[in-house]
């Protein structure tokens, strides 16, 4: 596995208190990943933190991509993936900057990805854990996943966690098919793309910890829009929107 080239994409918006420490942890792993941070014009020192780390680790191991305004977690990740496709990585990882996703779980996920799996999801359901979330947050997450399981497929239990490992082929597929959403709900849309195109999705349980530093970027209006988007994704799934065609494959 270690000979595979791995890139970890971290979307950031105001994560100055977390990003430096996360980069240090990720870049100390034996499997020598590269990291790309996609920052949406954070008003804190996120970008300076990353630039300082680039001086320490070098521009091959750590990159910073910036966008001019906050434009959604999902779009930020896929902007990073699209840029990194140019560099021949074999495995693409996405994770949050706020330590909700424990870097130590990463090796497990990377071991699980094989020639027959397209996507490995670090999952909080059914066997993982969530620590520190208030009841309302748990309920919303449970509800969104229940809705997705009813409307999309019950075989996936966690549609909304952004701790994931993709093969390069899966990243190409998703980019070729294209997607409609750019917020958190893009996580559910990319699952739909994999399902429709018969790519195998595997999951492993993780413990998700609520952030201890920094502020949430998730807004109530985004939560509501995301719930509505699940219906739209389910419609798209049934009417062929996510099927890979020869027209896509150019
Ligand atoms: N580039 C970019 N990153 C974002 C955007 N929204 C969220 N993020 C990042 O995406 C990751 C997940 O966002 P969070 O704010 O932690 O969302 P959450 O986990 O639902 O909420 P909390 O952990 O409670 O704050 C974090 O690394 C954020 O910094 C965005 O619009 N653009
Ligand atoms: Mg978070």
Output the average pLDDT for the chain.
95
In a domain, 120, yes or no: yes
What is the best residue among 14, 19, 73, 135 to mutate for testing ligand 1's pocket, by most ligand atoms within 8 Å of CB?
Answer: 73
In a domain, 122, yes or no: yes
217 alpha carbon – ligand 1 mean position (Å): 5
114 alpha carbon – ligand 1 mean position (Å): 28
Render pLDDT for 105-134 as a digit per residue (tens, 0 to 9): 999 999 999 878 999 999 999 999 999 999
For residue 97, give the ligand nearest its CA: 1
Which ligand 1 atom minimizes the distance to the CA of 76? Answer: 1
25 vs 214, more confident: 25
Q: Please state the pTM of the whole predicted model.
A: 0.96
CATH number at residue 100: 3.90.550.10
**DSSP of 123-134:** E-SSS-EEES--
Residue 68 per-residue DSSP state:
S
Do 104 and 89 meet the contact criterion of CB atoms below 8 Å apart? no
Q: Which domain holds residue 207?
A: 6-238
In a domain, 244, yes or no: no
Question: How far apart (Å, rounded) are the C-alpha atoms in residues 193 and 63?
Answer: 28
Q: Which residues pair with 165 in a beta bridge?
A: 93, 120
Inform me whether the pLDDT recorded for 250 exceeds 70: no
> Ligand 1 site: residues with CB under 6 angstroms?
11-13, 15, 38-40, 70-73, 76, 96-98, 100, 211, 216-218
Strands 164-167 and 91-94: antiparallel
149 alpha carbon – ligand 1 mean position (Å): 23
* Shortest-distance Cα residue to atom 5 of ligand 1: 73
**Could you list which residues have their CB under 5 Å from ion ligand 2?**
96, 98, 100, 211
In a domain, 12, yes or no: yes
In a domain, 249, yes or no: no
In a domain, 160, yes or no: yes
* Shortest-distance Cα residue to atom 25 of ligand 1: 216
Render pLDDT for 38-70 as a digit per residue (tens, 0 to 9): 999 999 999 999 999 999 999 999 999 999 999
In a domain, 246, yes or no: no
- For 5, other C-beta atoms within 10 Å of its C-beta total 15
In a domain, 176, yes or no: yes
155 alpha carbon – ligand 1 mean position (Å): 26
Which ligand 1 atom minimizes the distance to the CA of 214? Answer: 25
Contacts of 150 (CB under 8 A, 6+ apart): none
Render pLDDT for 143-188 as a digit per residue (tens, 0 to 9): 999 999 999 999 999 999 999 999 999 999 999 999 999 999 999 9
97 alpha carbon – ligand 1 mean position (Å): 8
What is the best residue among 96, 100, 214, 221 to mutate for testing ligand 1's pocket, by most ligand atoms within 8 Å of CB?
Answer: 96
Do 150 and 166 meet the contact criterion of CB atoms below 8 Å apart? no
For residue 226, give the ligand nearest its CA: 1
Q: How many domains does the chain have?
A: 1
Inform me whether the pLDDT recorded for 247 exceeds 80: no
């Amino acid at each position: 596995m270690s000979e595979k080239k791995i890139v970890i994409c971290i979307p950031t918006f105001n994560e100055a208190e977390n990003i430096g420490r996360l980069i240090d942890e990720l870049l100390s792993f034996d499997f020598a990943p590269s990291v790309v941070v996609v920052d949406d014009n954070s008003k804190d020192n996120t970008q300076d933190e990353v630039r300082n780390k680039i001086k320490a680790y070098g521009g091959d191991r750590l990159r910073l991509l910036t966008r001019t305004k906050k434009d959604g977690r999902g779009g930020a990740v896929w902007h990073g993936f699209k840029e990194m496709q140019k560099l021949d990585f074999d495995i693409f990882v996405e994770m949050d900057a706020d330590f909700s996703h424990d870097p130590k779980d990463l090796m497990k996920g990377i071991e699980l990805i094989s020639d027959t799996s397209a996507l490995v999801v670090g999952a909080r359901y059914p066997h993982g854990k969530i620590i520190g979330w208030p009841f309302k947050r748990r309920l919303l997450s449970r509800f969104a996943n229940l809705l997705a399981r009813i409307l999309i497929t019950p075989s996936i239990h966690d549609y909304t966690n952004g701790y994931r490992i993709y093969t390069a082929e899966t990243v190409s597929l998703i980019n070729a098919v294209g997607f409609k959403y750019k917020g958190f709900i893009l996580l559910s849309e990319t699952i739909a793309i994999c399902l429709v195109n018969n790519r195998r999705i595997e999951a492993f349980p993780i413990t998700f910890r609520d952030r201890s530093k920094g502020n949430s970027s998730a807004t109530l209006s985004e939560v509501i829009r995301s719930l509505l988007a699940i219906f739209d994704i389910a419609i798209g799934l049934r009417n062929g929107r996510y099927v890979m065609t020869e027209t896509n494959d150019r």
